[in-house]
Structure 1
Amino acid sequence: MYISAQRLRHMQQVQDLLDQLQPTASAEVICVPGSQEPEGTVIVFTGSFNPPTIAHLALLKQAQQYAKDVQGPVHVYAAFSKRTVDKEGVERPLLLDKVILLQDILSKRLPAVGILLFNRGLYVEQAQAIRQAFPKVKRVLFLMGFDKIVQIFDPHYYEDRDASLEALFSMAELFVVPRGNAGEDDLARLLQQPENQRFACYVTSRPFAAAYRDISATQVRQGGSHYEHETPREVRYFIQRLRPYAPPVKRLDGSERDVYQEHVAYVKQHLGPVC
């Protein structure tokens, strides 16, 4: 469970940022050190990244290609939220570990992509946080799969859906990519529904390679040999070394060993409370 002093210092720095974000406070966002401060146009891909897959990386790389169609400076960010809609039940691994792992991957593979941390999970709250925290930002584009746009238009998530959508689209636009078998035609049908038509001009369909559309972080967490082909090397090492998604290992004497909980205990010993 040894972690170098330099690594622990970096983990402490990230944990201090996470501690600043309170889900019950007004909308807030923090730029992780090493990421360029947002300005001009920003493309933000918010996810749980639990764990990061090759589809996540492909979409972030594709976002850099989308940026060529936008005038002026464009910066691409992956983003985490301390309150992720419909993900509250997923507790392992620590948010700290997820941020550090993604940062390690991006630094080697997509160094121009930054990381943002939000305290709130709704896109309207995240758009508000960006606008308030980074006044040099002129345009906000959220990048998402088709499953997320369905969620955004679902009244289940709002007290007043139309008022919330009006607020969202006054601050941001959406880039939507195919997910599974759902593509451009499905998006067009969703936007043609009478209650959605007036928001259609703020939503743009973008291409995404079919090879990545069915890759799921949920399936990776559930195990199986396929995860070796759907995750980058850093994720495979993380899973094999710390076993964050695996049940405790049974010893010959009948006792159990939870490798990931041992890691968490080690981190808490050196950093104090973590999330």
Structure 2
Amino acid sequence: MLVQKVCSRKDAIAKILTQAQGQEFYTTYNPWSSHLPRRLLILDSSFNPPTKAHANLLSKALASKPLNYFDGSLLLFSTNNVDKQLTGASVLQRAQMMELMAQTFDQDVAVGFTPYGKFVDKAQAIQAWFKSPVELYFILGYDTITRLFDPKYYSPVSAKEALAPFFKTCHLICANRGENNEEFWKGVEQKVDRIQLDPETEYISSTLARSLLASGRQGDKLNDILDPRILEFIRNENMYE
């Protein structure tokens, strides 16, 4: 039923994506009707496709704080990623899959897009959209957080100098997949909350999901990796074949 509901919005979502070109941040699905969040949890990923690991990341981050600590969550996709070219699912298909994932949560979870690849720029765009100060909590995987502090993205200024405005209103939640690079963590001056994925989702990735789908394999493995509604949508769209 949920898949049909989201599919019925395909034209409406496509229209938003077309009209929003050039905007720094916009939403295609926004349940924040009664209020705008003041403390926002953000899961920024490629969602190609969204997996049970994505859902576990959001659930674990929500559970890491007291009940109702966050008054809104956001699934965020950067249309111009600094490290990746767009392959696989189209932006429209990702918007639909992200909406499917968002609606499986009890909390108000929106779906948003930005053209920016750098977190400093993403944060500024989101803050500008809200028009009043918002505390932003970005959930990052270990690989992403190491890129965030990589000096090569900020030359000629230092990463510390470039990220100083970011950390005035933004916080980081890092999800470990068994990594334990203490040397890296010693060099991170900012406070970063660390969470651990459930063991059954630690191995899950979008790359693995695409590989299994491309091979034509069915069965329990895909059901372990993808929510059944996401899997239904992918098969309806004949994606990743």
Cα distance change on mapping 1:51 and 1:6 into 2, 3 Å:
closer
Asked whether the 8 Å contact 1:32–1:116 carries over to 2, the reply is: yes
Cα distance change on mapping 1:33 and 1:228 into 2, 3 Å:
closer
What is residue 119 of structure 1 aligned with on the other side?
A: 115
1:78-157 correspondence to structure 2 within 5 Å: 78-88=75-85, 90-110=86-106, 112-157=108-153
CA distance in 1, matches of 2:7, 2:204: 30
Aligned residues: 229
What is residue 256 of structure 1 aligned with on the other side?
A: none
Cα distance change on mapping 1:164 and 1:20 into 2, 3 Å:
farther
Asked whether the 8 Å contact 2:29–2:112 carries over to 1, the reply is: no
Asked whether the 8 Å contact 1:21–1:82 carries over to 2, the reply is: no
CA distance in 1, matches of 2:64, 2:176: 15
What is residue 186 of structure 2 aligned with on the other side?
A: 192
Per the normalisation by structure 1, the TM-score is: 0.73
Deviations 1:5-40 (A, max 9, x none): 9945x2232223323444xx5x72113343216421
Structure 1 residue corresponding to 2:196, chosen from 188, 202, 207: 207
Deviations 1:184-225 (A, max 9, x none): x42x421313xx4xxx23322223322222211011111245
The CA deviation at 1:126 is: 0.9
Unpaired runs of 5+ residues, structure 2, are none
The CA deviation at 1:104 is: 2.2
Using the aligned pairs only, state the percent identity. 22
CA distance in 1, matches of 2:57, 2:5: 33
What is residue 233 of structure 1 aligned with on the other side?
A: 228
Rg comparison, structure with higher value = 1
Structure 1 residue corresponding to 2:74, chosen from 64, 74, 77: 77
Asked whether the 8 Å contact 1:41–1:137 carries over to 2, the reply is: no
The CA deviation at 1:111 is: 5.4
What is the root-mean-square deviation in Å for CA atoms of aligned residues? 2.7
1:20-39 correspondence to structure 2 within 5 Å: 20-22=19-21, 28-36=24-32, 38-39=36-37
Asked whether the 8 Å contact 2:81–2:116 carries over to 1, the reply is: yes
The CA deviation at 1:135 is: 2.9
CA distance in 1, matches of 2:56, 2:38: 23
Deviations 1:70-114 (A, max 9, x none): 85x5311111121123221x4222111111122123324445222
Give the letter for the 2:10 counterpart. M
